[in-house]
Amino acid sequence: MTEATLADIQAETKNTIDAYLTNYIQRLPEHAIDLKEAMQYALLVGGKRMRPLLHRITAETLGISYLDSLPVAAAIECIHAYSLVHDDLPAMDDDDLRRGQATCHIKYDEATAILAGDALQTLAFEIIADTSSKQLSHETKVKLITCIAKASGYSGMCGGQAIDLAATNQRISLERLTQLHQLKTGALLTACVETATLMTPNIAECDVANFLTYAQSIGLAFQVQDDILDVTASSEVLGKPSGSDQKANKSTYPALLGLQAAREQLQNYHAEALQALDRLPYNTQLLRQFADLMLNRTH
C-alpha cells in the first residue's frame, strides 16, 4: 500500500460522495429553488472530503464495504457543510471566502444561507434514517444517529463553536483551547471513526478505545496544523485569507505556545495517533497514511 493509494482512495471518495449528494439534492422537489441551489452549492463547492475519507478507510479497515459506509460518510459531510455555512455568517466568523469561492451567504443571501445550513443538518439525519442499505440494521442506524447528534450538537461541534466565539479577543488557557478544538472539530472527526466501529458487530471494547484515541489525536493534530497554516501559508494556497485567526484575535496554538512548540505539539499528537494504531489487531496502513496526511498537508 503506497502513499499514492490513499490519494487514489481520496479522489474516488470525493467523486462518489459528490455524486451521492448531488443525486440526493437533485431528487428534491423544486418548490424553493434558491434554497435547493444554496444547499447544493454549500455541499459541492470545493472541499477535500476528509471526513468521508476518514470514515471510509476506518470502515474498510474493519471490513465494511464502501457501499455500506457511503450513506454515513455523506451524512457526516452534510453536518460538516452545514457547520461551515453557519460559521461563515456575518454574525459568526464573517468570512466571504471558503475553499477559494464565495461563501454561501455571499453567493446567495444571509437568510438563504441560514436555511441551507438548517436543511443540510436535517438532511444528514434523514440520509441515515432513510437509507435503504440492507447492511445497516435499525439498531445500527439509531446508534449512528445518536453518535452523530452528540458529536454535532451542544456536546460537540456547536458547543465548540460557542466556546470559540466567546474566546475571541480573549487569551484563553491551553486547556480551554484544547477543549474548544476537541468539541469544534475533534468531535465530528471522532464520529467519522466511531460510526465505523458502531457498524462493526462484536468489536472489542479495547479496540474501540484505541480507534477513538487515534481519532481524537488526529483531530487535535488537524487543528494545530490548521492554526500553523493560518500563520505560515499564503491566502492563495489556503483558499481563504491567511492570518485570519490573528486578525480575528483568536487564541491559537502558535499564539499560545509559539510556532516551534506548536509544531512539537503537532508531532506529539501524531505520535499518539500512531501508537493507538499499533495497539489494534487490524491492518491500519490506510489510517496511518491518513495521520501523515494531516501532518503534512499544506492547506
Q: How far is the CB of 21 from a copy of itself (least distance, A)?
A: 13
Alpha-carbon separation of residue 17 from 9, 42, 116, 174 (angstroms): 12, 14, 19, 36
103 alpha-carbon distance from chain centroid: 18
C-alpha angle 243-248-252 in degrees, rounded to nearest 5: 70
The one among 102, 129, 257, 259 contacting a copy of itself by CB under 8 A: 129
Q: What are phi and psi of 293, to 5 degrees?
A: -60, -40
Q: How far is the CB of 124 from a copy of itself (least distance, A)?
A: 9
Q: Name beta bridge partners: 97.
A: 102
The one among 44, 149, 231, 233 contacting a copy of itself by CB under 8 A: 149
Choose the stretch contacting a copy of itself; rule: CB under 8 A; options: 145-153, 224-232, 234-242, 279-287.
Answer: 145-153
Window 4 to 43, contacts with a copy of itself (CB under 8 A): 28-29, 31-32, 34-36, 39
The one among 41, 125, 222, 253 contacting a copy of itself by CB under 8 A: 125
Choose the stretch contacting a copy of itself; rule: CB under 8 A; options: 63-71, 155-163, 204-212, 242-250.
Answer: 155-163
Helical residues (DSSP H) of 168-258, grouped into ranges:
174-181, 187-198, 205-232, 235-238, 244-247, 253-257
The alpha carbons of the chain give a radius of gyration, in whole angstroms, of 18
Q: How far is the CB of 127 from a copy of itself (least distance, A)?
A: 9
Residue listed under C-alpha cell 460510526:
195
Window 160 to 219, contacts with a copy of itself (CB under 8 A): 160-163, 165-166, 179, 183
If the CB atoms of residues 25 and 286 are measured against a copy of itself, the closer one turns out to be: 25
